[in-house]
A and B are shown apart, each in its own frame.
Chain A
C-alpha cells in the first residue's frame, strides 16, 4: 500500500521569499502524484499533478513540483510567495491504475509580512 509523508506540519515564510514544501511517498511502482491546496473552510483545489514524462511539473498560481524517483520525493516550490498563498497544502499519491488517493497530513503555510 502506498503512503505519503509531509514532514513539516507548519511553515512560515516571509512574503516575497521562496517556498519549498516537502513530500515523500512510498510506493513500489511509478506513482501518480498530486498537490492540492485548501484554504480555511474551503474544499481542495488541484495545484498540479505528475503522471509521467517531464519530472518538473508546472501548476497554477506559479507553483511547480519536481518528481525525484531516487529520493521518492515530490516537493512543491514557488519562487516568490504572496500573502494569498497562506493555506494548507496536501500531497497525494495514487497507484498506477488508481481509483483512490492517499493523502499526507498536510503542511500549513503561514506568510509573514
Chain B
C-alpha cells in the first residue's frame, strides 16, 4: 500500500509567481490535511478537506492561499503571488476517517521563494 504522495518534492518560485502543491492520499483515505512547517517550528495546521469539500480552513491565510480536493485526482494547495515568507515545508496527511483517526504524512514539498 503506497503511502501519501506529494509532488513536487522541491519547488522554487520567484516572488509573484504561483505555486501548486499536489497530494495524493493513501489508498482508501478520503480525508486530507495540509500543514506548514516554518524553519525551527513545529507543523501548523492549515486546512482539512474531504472529497469536494473544505471542512476546516481555520489555519489558512485569508489571502493568496486556496485548497481543493476534487472528486478525481489529487488534492491541490495553491499559493498565488508568492512572497519570501511563504518559503517553508508543506506537508500533506491523510486518514481513512476524520474523527480521532491517525493521520499519515507525506514526504513534504519544500517551497523556496527567491
Q: Which chain A residues border B56 with CB–CB below 8 Å?
A: 99-100
Chain A residues contacting B110 (CB-CB under 8 Å) are 41
Q: How far is it, in angstroms, between the C-alpha of A105 and the C-alpha of B23 when the chains are bound? A: 24
Among the 9-residue stretches A42-50, A62-70, A71-79, the one with 4 or more Cβ atoms under 8 Å from chain B is A42-50
A101 touches B44 (CB 8 A): no
B40 within 8 A of A: yes
Residues of B contacting A90 in the complex (Cβ-Cβ under 8 angstroms):
42-43
Residues in A whose Cβ lies below 8 Å from that of B102: 34, 46, 49
Residue B106 CB within 8 A of the other chain: yes
Q: Which residue of B lies closest to A9 (CB)?
A: B40
Query: Known: A42-B107, A46-B104, A99-B55. Contact between A104 and B98, CB under 8 A?
Result: no
Q: A43-B105, A43-B106, A44-B91 are in contact. Are A101 and B100 (CB under 8 A)?
A: no
A96-B100, A97-B99 known; A105 vs B105 contact (CB < 8 Å):
no
Given known A-B contacts A103-B42, A103-B44, A97 and B107 have beta carbons under 8 A apart: no
Question: Which residues of the other chain, A, contact B103 by a CB distance below 8 angstroms?
Answer: 101
Inter-chain CA distance A94–B102, complex, in Å, is: 10
Cα-based distance from A45 to B55 in the complex (angstroms)? 25
Q: Which residue of A lies closest to B3 (CB)?
A: A43
Which of chain A's residues have a CB closer than 8 A to the CB of B59? 100
Q: B108 an interface residue at 8 Å Cβ cutoff?
A: yes
Nearest-CB residue, chain B, relative to A106: B42
Interface residues of B (CB under 8 A from A): 4, 6, 31, 33, 35, 40-45, 48, 55-56, 59, 91, 98-100, 102-108, 110
A residues with a Cβ closer than 8 A to B are 4, 32, 34, 36, 41-46, 49, 51, 90, 92, 94, 96-106
